[in-house]
Amino acid sequence: MATGTGQRRHHPPETGLESGPPDGDPPAVTVHAPAEAALALSLAGNRGVLLLSAPGAAGYLGPAWFLAMVAAAAAAVPGVPHKPVLDCADAPGQALGALRAGLRDLVLDSACPAFAQVAAAAAALGGRLRAVRPASLDLGPLDLSREGVRARLAAWLTGAGHGAG
């Protein structure tokens, strides 16, 4: 697929392409709706959670909607450490727009020719550009009303479920 289409290429990650602080992130959960984000926050505890968008969401949802979704969840479940992470696929313009909108943690395909420039822009703002999506539990296909799903999410957030995500 052509670069800049918002579609992710599947390339192995290259070493050293991420900008920003070293790992030490809390667990990541892929969220598609405010209820999913609120559930993740309600079970995260003091360790916190990365609220990760769906792949390429910058291109079809946009940063303003994603930030509003995270803000709504944080208002519903206050006081829980969290960080929104928006996936920009291979679209550097979407990543730059997300930085302008206030997001400071983004995913951009490492094969994107403008990766280094976007990484420099993120770093200049104190942000982070990830070359690879963090491992996450995707809540989209799960029925959140089922107790087993809540238990699975709780296990993921405590680190016990990372082998089955």
Q: Is pLDDT at 120 greater than 90 in this prediction?
A: yes
Q: State the pLDDT confidence band at 159, using cuts at 50, 70 and 90.
A: confident
pLDDT at 138: 97
Give the H or E element holding residue 39: helix 34-44
Give the H or E element holding residue 29: strand 28-30
Q: Which residues pair with 50 in a beta bridge?
A: 28, 83
Per-residue model confidence as pLDDT tens digits over 17-70: 333 334 689 999 999 999 999 999 999 999 999 999 999 999 999 999 999 999
Highest mean pLDDT among 7-16, 93-102, 142-151 belongs to 93-102
How far are the Cα atoms of 6, 30, 61, 134 from residue 118, in angstroms, in the given order? 15, 23, 20, 18
Give the C-alpha separation, 53 to 85, whole Å.
6
- Residue identified by tokens 């082998």 is 163
Query: Which residues, at least 6 apart from 17, have a Cβ–Cβ distance to it below 8 Å?
Result: 110, 115, 119, 131
Amino acid identity of 95?
A: A
Q: Is pLDDT at 77 greater than 80 in this prediction?
A: yes
Q: Which of 53, 50, 78, 77 is nearest to 63 (CA)?
A: 53
What predicted TM-score, i.e. pTM, was given to this entire model? 0.84
- Residue identified by tokens 């280094």 is 116
The CB density around residue 158, as the number of other CB atoms within 10 Å, is 14
CATH class of 28-158: alpha beta
Work out whether the CA dihedral 80, 126, 4, 14 comes out positive or negative. Answer: negative
In this prediction, what percent of the chain has a pLDDT beyond 90? 79
Q: Is pLDDT at 104 greater than 90 in this prediction?
A: yes
